[in-house]
Structure 1
């Protein structure tokens, strides 16, 4: 079978030496087939990486499917909504339709969704990987010509196209900005541990900025939060230290919301803040929020452009596109360092 196309029902039939109808009976569990033949068909399906076309069981249409399957961790996160908007904007004129599903940051759920999209014979598969996922099972599909693009985080166990933000250099710039305003004790609240690519890169950017300024990395100033409530509690803990930070860095938009809420509740107007990723209404806060802004729309457009190039015949090696971040100065990150606050 040629490696430039995806395996078909006919390929499975040819591999086993039976008719396509017999293969269909095995896959649909419809009609008499011997146990030996069933075993041979299923073995060939696994070996070739064949995915049954689920849509074709109900309807018959001419030509290939014209959909893009996109798996994201959280449909409610505005970042991924903007990514999807960038994808849709780019592929609309090519007659492609975007289908989305949420993995809820669960590796098994992510695998189920990718299998579902593959079963629907999507033209392109796009995935925002979650922690603990392994993508080696997609090797055979990518080798068979299916464009597979990973967004925000690279694949694990698979050489595939990816589109990411400049997480490390962006966080470095944000911390360096605080250092330039006199801060020497800078807290970092992120979603730890750092097994996930984005978390690891942002913490590395934080550490590299400290190192560049010859400041000691203090583990007591680094803490974890997975949701807004935990971020608020982490903010309170850091500011309650005997030698508290004079500035804080939020590792993602969820942490930012919890951090800002706690600072407002405790009426702490002396703490400088830089957030990684912009948040709604950042400009109307007092002071307005200084952020390291990603460009999710451009990430989506770059992912779509990469996929379209693959559809148009690009068979080059897997590549990574890095979309730059930018520091937006609004006020919260420009507060000068002051004497430690005492309750």
Structure 2
């Protein structure tokens, strides 16, 4: 850095301000310093900066599956906020494995990330206590933390969205409404089942509720059983995007009213186009990241729990009447 200062004809502090994007340096001087940096091939010593500032300008992000469009949208939003704060995002997928979640979180902490954003795979987050006590803030997104650590949480209105979906089907004359959900151990899946039951009330038929991993084989078997009943369902509510897409494939053209939770690509181009309850993964990621960076900056206010609204997008599949019209 001293060589850069000599090359640019400025004080060492001026070079430091330019390198660290601090205010107080006029444009012409900053350009002269940057030109000197480029000529000399200078790169700042990150290890020294970390020791000096106590920060790494990095955060850890643990999601379920980077290949899932929902989580890719969430991840991109986190990255956009991080870029604005001059920070790098280290990310990994847990694959719904609590042990993998813990491994990723502790690996990121060992790399001294400034904070964590976690989509939890398990319910036991006691392993985080030491990291939180050491001053590493964390925000949970899409699902809450298990009993123990009190951390900021950003969720969507899962139960409210399910109620929207079922009430929409009820308004179009349906009384036999089936629910195809993901594993009940997943917070979002269980909340959507709760909303389904609250909206349907006494009309719930336990034979028309199925919750498990949405494999093609399982979904096809469930739909074949339901549609082969003497009193089959006339409408279907699917609990997430994977359930919806798998169900559409398994139906193989058989007509049933359908509303899915989560929007997905090309949903508007199918025949009929798919009615969905849409949440905002980018909004979830953005809010989680903004909360985290406020904590990193020293905000010591009370723990926040943010519930983001959802909306129903009527496209045709949920507007089919019980008679198929």
Relative to the length of structure 1, the TM-score reads 0.77
For 2:178 and 2:138, how far apart are their aligned partners in 1?
38
1:151 aligned residue: 141
Q: Match for 1:123 among 97, 102, 114?
A: 114
Per the alignment, residue 191 of structure 2 pairs with 201
1:92 maps to 2:77: no
Q: 1:227 to 1:61 in 2, by over 3 A?
A: farther
Instruction: Give the drift of 1:282.
Output: 0.2
Work out which of the residue numbers 230, 242, 257 in structure 2 matches 1:242: 230
Per-residue deviation, residues 43-97 of structure 1 (Å, max 9, x unmatched): xxxxxxxxxxxxxxxx834122111111111111110000011111112111011
Counterpart contact for 2:176–2:203, Cα < 8 Å: no
Which residue pairs with 2:68 in the alignment?
A: 77
**Contact preservation (8 Å) 1:225, 1:234:** no
Deviation at 1:319? 1.5
Task: Name the counterpart of 1:179.
Answer: 170
Any idea what SS the aligned residue of 1:283 has?
Answer: coil
1:302 aligns with 2:290: no
Task: Note the residue ranges of structure 2 that are not aligned, 5 or more in a row.
Answer: 1-45
Residues in 1 aligned to 2:310 and 2:223: alpha-carbon distance in whole angstroms? 25
Partner of 1:13: none
Cα shift readout 1:246-286 (whole Å, capped 9, x = no counterpart)? 000001111111111122x2x212x1000000111101100
From 284, 289, 299, the equivalent of 1:314 is 299
Q: Distance in 2 between matches of 1:307 and 1:69?
A: 11
Q: Could you tell me which of 275, 290, 303 is aligned with 2:260?
A: 275
Does the 8 Å CA contact 1:228/1:257 hold for their aligned counterparts? no
- In structure 1, runs of 5+ residues without a counterpart are 1-58
Structure 1's 281 and 338: CA in aligned 2 closer, same or farther, altered over 3 A?
A: same
Matched, 1:293 2:281: no
Q: C-alpha offsets along residues 195-242 of structure 1, whole Å, 9 cap, x if unaligned?
A: 32111110000001012xxx3321100012413402233222221222
Q: How far, CA to CA, are the matches of 1:111 and 1:308 in structure 2?
A: 22
TM-score (norm 2): 0.81
Aligned partners of 1:337 and 1:107: how far apart in 2?
42
Which whole-Å CA distance do the structure 1 matches of 2:225 and 2:212 have between them? Answer: 12
Which residue of 1 is the match for residue 154 of structure 2?
163
Give the one of 109, 130, 154 matched to 2:100: 109
Distance 1:254 1:61 in 2: 46
Partner SS state of residue 282, structure 1: coil
**What CA distance in whole angstroms lies between the structure 1 residues aligned with 2:259 and 2:70?**
18
User: By how many angstroms is 1:175 displaced?
Assistant: 0.4
Q: Give the alignment partner of residue 190 of structure 1, picking from 172, 181, 190.
A: 181
> 1:38-57 maps to which residues of 2 (within 5 A)?
none
Q: What SS does structure 1 have at the residue aligned with 2:117? A: strand
